[in-house]
Amino acid sequence: MLSQPDLLIRPDSRVAVSPALSERDRAILMSTRLALRDAPGDFSSALRALRIAVERRIPAGRTFYLGDYTFGPIIGSILSGVGIAQDVDGIVVVRARHGAPISRLGRLVP
């Protein structure tokens, strides 16, 4: 199981570990990563894993379409703006706040 230090910030980390992540987002992303260990690394699997993680962590939790990224939609939380998207090097975590440029926070899985 991933331990909390996996989600701490390391300058050389290629995994999404932004200090801007809330505790809730961090926990959801960690659950998503865990679910993807034995799953295919495609976006559909990641989307399913994210949805299940959100439903488990948040009462009546849902995922939302937040906008578009390099190769398709960003799916995540309206309230934090944190979501996942397909990029050239895999599935990444991004922040898509209303009215602000989309920022890439790192890869969802190493």
Partner 1 sequence: MRSRFELDPSEDYGEATPALREIFRAWSAVDWFVPLRDREAAERGRRRFEEHNALARGHLPDQFPETLKIRAVVGEWGEFTALCDHVRSTAMKWDWRYSALKTLCHRHSEAHGWQLKDQLHRARAIESWPDPRGGALFIRIFDHTMWGFTPRLDLEAAFRASSVAPEKPALDAAAWYFDYARMDAMHCVEWQLAEDHAQLAGNPFLPLLRVYAEGLLPFSLARDELVLFALGPGLPA
Residues of the shown chain interacting with partner 1 in the complex, contacts defined by CB under 8 A:
23, 43-44, 47-48, 51, 59-60, 62-65, 67, 72-73, 75, 78-79, 81, 97-100
Nearer CB in complex with partner 1: 15/31: 31
3-state secondary structure of 9: coil
* Residue with Cβ nearer partner 1 (10 or 70): 70
Specify the residue, 32 or 63, whose C-beta has the smaller distance to partner 1. 63
The CA distance from 95 to 80, in Å, is: 8
